[in-house]
Chains A and B, each alone.
Chain A
């Protein structure tokens, strides 16, 4: 199957600082990528849809000014958590479909574990 990578795999930052997480599709191009968040013992929750060449769309309740998304190319999307606080500590996961538009499976990155102290 297709491969999606994330960097870093884990990061610890101090409260008030910003953290950037990268998501790359390694062997296919993705005009759309998705960002999810997963708290301990909970399921994944969709945060936003990242669109190459246009603004991201955010799910209800997700602050777009706090979670900045940039889809810089057909293989790279970045999520920046700005002014991070301990409640932002979570497992952040990206995914990308190998086919745009219609029905398609999604391939997920390995996730980034963010701890804010």
Chain B
């Protein structure tokens, strides 16, 4: 997996959009960008993934820059339940390979 860099922590006000950045400047052409989150003392939860194009699902949007060296996860209307550690992982994907987790970003949603 390519190395990823994320800010260690971020705050966001409840109801606002939370924008979580991730740098993956060494990502190779066949590697995807995956986002997971882990709420305290629970197993991680899959959020979204993408290769080149921006992606959106019911949980979040993923914006990938044209050169694919960085991406942003957007939670459009953050709630208190979105407080968690968010992990950005750049790799070929988890179908056959385990995931390499970095330290992630601890997102704290403030009331």
Q: Give A residues with C-beta under 8 Å from B.
A: 1, 4, 6, 32, 34, 36, 43-46, 49, 59, 91, 93, 95, 97, 99-111, 113
Closest to B98 in A: A46
Chain B positions 59-111 with a Cβ under 8 Å from a chain A Cβ: 87, 92-104
Q: Could you tell me the distance in whole angstroms from the C-beta of A117 to the nearest C-beta in chain B? A: 20
Q: Are the CB atoms of B95 and A100 closer together than 8 Å? A: yes
User: Contacting B43 at CB < 8 Å: which of A49, A103, A109?
Assistant: A109
A43 vs B103: C-alpha distance when bound (angstroms): 6
Q: Are the CB atoms of A104 and B95 closer together than 8 Å? A: yes
Counting chain B CB atoms within 10 Å of each CB, which of A6, A49, A97, A110 scores highest?
A: A97
**Total residue contacts A-B, CB cutoff 8 A:** 77
Closest to B104 in A: A43
Q: Give B residues with C-beta under 8 Å from A.
A: 32, 34, 36, 38, 41-46, 49, 51, 87, 92-104
Q: Could you tell me the distance in whole angstroms from the C-beta of A53 to the nearest C-beta in chain B? A: 15
The 7 closest A-B pairs by CB, nearest first: A103-B93, A108-B43, A104-B95, A46-B98, A106-B94, A43-B101, A105-B46
Contacts of B92 in A (CB 8 A): 102-103
User: Contacting A106 at CB < 8 Å: which of B38, B46, B51?
Assistant: B46
Q: Are the CB atoms of B43 and A102 closer together than 8 Å? A: no
Q: Could you tell me the distance in whole angstroms from the C-beta of A67 to the nearest C-beta in chain B? A: 14
Closest to B95 in A: A104
Q: Are the CB atoms of B98 and A110 closer together than 8 Å? A: no
A44 vs B41: C-alpha distance when bound (angstroms): 12
Given contacts A95-B94, A103-B92, contact A44 B32 (CB under 8 A): no
Q: Are the CB atoms of B46 and A107 closer together than 8 Å? A: yes
Contacts of A111 in B (CB 8 A): 41-43
User: Contacting B44 at CB < 8 Å: which of A93, A99, A100, A103?
Assistant: A93
Contacts of A91 in B (CB 8 A): 41
Q: Are the CB atoms of B43 and A110 closer together than 8 Å? A: yes
User: Contacting B49 at CB < 8 Å: which of A46, A100, A103?
Assistant: A103
Closest to A49 in B: B98
Known pairs A46-B100, A104-B94; list 6 more (Cβ under 8 Å). A46-B98, A49-B98, A95-B94, A99-B95, A103-B92, A111-B41
